[in-house]
Structure 1
Amino acid sequence: MDKAELREAAETLAKQLEGTHGVRARWDGDSVRIKGAGVDGKLTLSDADVLVSVELGLMASAFKGPLRNEVQRFLDEYVS
């Protein structure tokens, strides 16, 4: 999958997270920043890697499993 296809898939994921979890997504170059109540994450696309970083606050940590599963499903479906 090339970088343009990955970006399109990441945009779809960001919209799903916005709708499902009420976070805001903002693109800056090849990175999308996901922010919401107790959630601060970043997904960065490069030619060789997809880097995912997420920090959860105390209250949001209860959703760690579902958020991890959704990101993992995205990676399995679009990257592997």
Structure 2
Amino acid sequence: MPKEEIRAAAEGLADSLGREHGVRSRWEGDRVKIKGAGVDGELSFHDGLIDVSVRLGLLTSMFEGTLRREVQRYLDEHIT
């Protein structure tokens, strides 16, 4: 998949997390940093791989499974 398409999918994921969970995002090169109430992480892509790393606070950690499934579903639908 071309880098531009992967970036577009990453932007869509960041936008979706913003709408659904109030997470803010900021791009730094090929990395998008995400931050919200109890959520801090980044999404990067390189060499055909997408790396999602998120730290959850104590209260948001109870939603880990839901967030993990949502991110996986989004990537499955938009990355080929």
For residue 30 of structure 2, what is the aligned residue in structure 1? 30
Counterparts of 1:2 and 1:78, CA distance in 2: 13
TM-score by length of 1: 0.91
Coordinate RMSD, CA, aligned: 1.1
Residues 4-51 of structure 1: CA deviation (Å, up to 9, x unaligned) = 001001111111100100010111000011100110111101132111
1:9-20 equivalences in 2 (<5 Å): 9-20=9-20
Report how far residue 72 of structure 1 moved: 0.6
TM-score by length of 2: 0.91
| Count of aligned residue pairs for this structure pair | 80
Query: Which runs of 5 or more structure 1 residues have no equivalent in the other structure?
Result: none
Code of the residue aligned with 1:34 in structure 2: it is I
Query: Which runs of 5 or more structure 2 residues have no equivalent in the other structure?
Result: none
Moved over 3 A (4+): none
